Structure formats: structure tokens, C-alpha cells
Chain A
Amino acid sequence: MTILVFTIIILIGSYFAGLLGSLTGLGGGFVIIPLLTLVLNVDIHYAIGASLVSVIATSSGSAAAYVREGITNMRLGMFLEIATTIGAMCGAILAIYIPTNLIAIIFGLILICSAVLSVRKKVQVITTEKNYLAEKLRLNSSYPTPDGQTVEYSVIRVTGGFFMMVFAGIMSGLLGIGSGVLKVIAMDSIMRIPFKVSTTTSNFMIGVTASASAVVYFQRGYISPGLSMPVVIGVLLGALTGSKILVHSTSSKWLRWIFAVMVTFLAVQMIYHGLKGRI
């Protein structure tokens, strides 16, 4: 296979990965890594490096739009970035010492969890409970709704959320994913933050988290320009298309299901190949 053909295949694959990742909120990394490792036989470390770069691009691109709307909670994001960057650094260092087939197995397991969690029914509970740390850190805030109202919310269980973020960071650094689903869980299930705030704030944090591990991958030589180039361009264009579609359609429930089935299939493949020691 020539580099040109290889590049075009990756570009198309990444485009669809970015599109699906954006439509479902799972992120592009979840499709890109199985595509590169299982289908195109790319070494998993290179695949993770390329995926991290694309994660940074999509996160920065969309955070740029979200942060202007005033929904993102910057203080909360900044505070939790302490947790995610520590995690990301540990994850990236771990990735060098853990055997590659074990990385594939962990990848598959996290993938299944995320798929299940992304289709589960969510109930939003906005709390006004007082939490000492949240008040001390000025995490309680408000956000504007489309009809011009302002919703006030409080943040609870700050410590629990913080530790969940360390875990999300480790997974991001180890597997080269944004781990947006884990971040959102930390924020809405544990800390009781409204969905709109948790998704935009998670997106805001993903870029920094991925950068903290990307610097390690970069210095280890795991970021290959020839591979990263089509991945980052493809995923970004796919994500842009996805965000345009999302504006025009209100329901993406069936899409979540299709994607959940698809990623479960990919996850099983990753685990199988990992167990067989073929990755």
C-alpha cells in the first residue's frame, strides 16, 4: 500500500469517526483507534498518539464556540483540570510500561462502559445544596437558557468528582481518548451539575487533558506526522459536519443506539485481539 492510498483511507475513516463521535458525544478516539490498529495494523502507540492530537483539535475547536455562550463553568473546569492533568500524565507514563495487548483489553472494557452509559436514561437533578468546598472554590454558578432565563446551580461531592476526574485523566492518557463520557459522569452523576454545563465544561477540559499526555507521547516519538495528519484533519471535518447536523435535528436517540451497538462490536474485537496477543 502506498502512502497516498493509506492516507486517503485514514482520512475517510477519520471523517466518519469524527462524525459519529460528535453526533453521539462519545468522541472520535473510540472509533479511530480500533480502525487504525485492527483494520490497518498500525502499532497501538502510534494510533494513540494520532488520536490524542485529533482529540485536542476537536475539543479546542468546539470549546471555542461553547465558551462564548457562557454555559461553560470556567472555574469548575480549571479546578478539575488539576485532577485530569495529573491523571493524564500518569496514564501516558503507564502506557509506556504496560504491554500493548493489555492496553487493547482496557480500551475495549472502557469502550463498552461508555457505550452503555451513553444510552442510559439520564435524570437531571439541579441542586442548591450547600457544599463547603464548592463554596470555598466558588464553583456554584448559573447558566443562561435559550429562552433568556438564568438557572442557578450548586455543586456537591467535590472530592468524589475530583477523584473520578483523576481516573478519567488516566484513561485519556493511557488510551488516547478524550474520555468525555467519564468526565460527564463525574460531573452530572457525582457532582450534580446540569447536563448543558457538564458537557460543555467537559469539552473545555478535554483539550488540556489530552495535551498533558500528548507532550509525553511526543517526546517518546509516538506522534507520527504522516499518520496524525489525515487523522486530525478527518476527525475535525467529521466533527464539524456532526455539529451542523445536530443543530438541525433534535433527536439523536436512535443514533446513540446504532453507535452503541457498533462500538460494542469494536470493543469485543479489541478485547479478543488483546487476549490473543495480536495487538
Chain B
Amino acid sequence: MDLKMKFKDKDMQLLLGQVLRAGTIISISIVFIGGVVFLYRHGFSIANYRVFNGVPDFVQHPSGIEYGILNFKGQAIIQFGIILLIATPIVRVLFSAIGFVLEKDYMYVVISLLVLSIIFLSMMSGHAG
């Protein structure tokens, strides 16, 4: 199939559908596995979500999450799944941008990239404070 000639809105819809589906299934499965591990290890501790203290360090930073997963910490595995879940719609925008390039609809390539940069800016604003 000649990708450049034949790529139409219909193909883009199928592609985006697959990206969203795969992203949701993979990330929820990881959250579920992490949940099982978490409950197995901490199920009988006392819950406290009343007072806001932030979350443990190993579920907050990439290096911490990596360390947590390697040590089979349930919360780190859940957090990894949540990151993938948050990334799913963002990856969808990225694929839209690629799709619009293939369709040669450059105005929408710019619009897609603009949405991506707003999300990126939002990410940076979280870091700043």
C-alpha cells in the first residue's frame, strides 16, 4: 500500500483507535498487577489519606519508580501504570500529528503540535513550584 497516497481520515481513525485501546489495556493491566502486589504486602496496614503529606519518594521520581519496580514494590508498579495511562492521550495527539503529516494537512500538524506543547508547558509548570 502506498502510504503517502492512500492515508485518509478513515485510516487515521483506525490508528488512533488502536493507540487508545492498547494504551488503556496495557496501563490498566499494570495498575492491576501493582495493586495485587501492594495489597499483598500492605493490605493490613492502617490507611491514612486524610492528611496531605505528598506521596512516598519512590513513587514520585523516575529513578525512584525504576528502583521500586526492580524491588517489586506495588505502589511503584501502580504509579508506572498510571504514567502510561496519562501518556496514552498524549501519545494519541502525537499520532494525530503524524497522521496529519501523512494527509498533508499542515494546518492540523501545527494545531496538534500546539496542543502537545501546551501539555509540555503544563508539565513544566508542575516542576517549577
Contacts and interface: CB of A to CB of B under 8 A. Distances in A.
Interface of A: 1-7, 40-43, 45-46, 53, 56-57, 59-61, 63-65, 67-68, 70, 72, 74-75, 78-79, 81-82, 85-86, 88-89, 92-93, 96, 137-138, 207-208, 210-230, 232-233, 236
Contact of A60 (B24, B55, B118, B123): B24
Contacts of A215: 86, 119, 122-123, 126
17 contacts: A4-B39, A5-B47, A57-B85, A65-B21, A208-B92, A211-B86, A211-B88, A211-B119, A214-B86, A215-B123, A216-B126, A223-B55, A225-B74, A226-B38, A226-B42, A229-B38, A232-B82
B90 A82 contact: no
B127 interface: yes
A72 B13 contact: yes
Given A65-B17, A214-B86, A229-B35, A220 B126 contact: yes
B125 A216 contact: yes
Given A2-B44, A85-B118, A220-B126, A78 B82 contact: no
Contacts of B115: 78, 81-82, 85, 208
Interface in B34-84: 34-35, 38-39, 42-47, 49-52, 54-55, 59-60, 74-76, 78-79, 82-83
Contacts of A42: 49-50
Contacts of B121: 89
Contact of A86 (B20, B27, B118): B118
Contacts of A210: 89
B112 A225 contact: no
A222 B55 CA distance: 7
A23 B129 CA distance: 39
Nearest to B115: A81
B46 A218 contact: no
B51 A43 contact: yes
A213 B122 CA distance: 7
A15 B126 CA distance: 30
Closest A-B pairs by Cβ, 9 of them:
A219-B126, A207-B89, A221-B54, A4-B43, A225-B78, A64-B20, A89-B122, A64-B21, A6-B47
A148 B49 CA distance: 52
Among B12, B18, B20, the most chain A Cβ lie within 10 Å of the Cβ of B20
Given A53-B82, A233-B32, A82 B119 contact: no
B118 A212 contact: yes
A225 B44 contact: no
Contacts of A93: 125
Nearest to B74: A225
Contacts of A2: 43-47
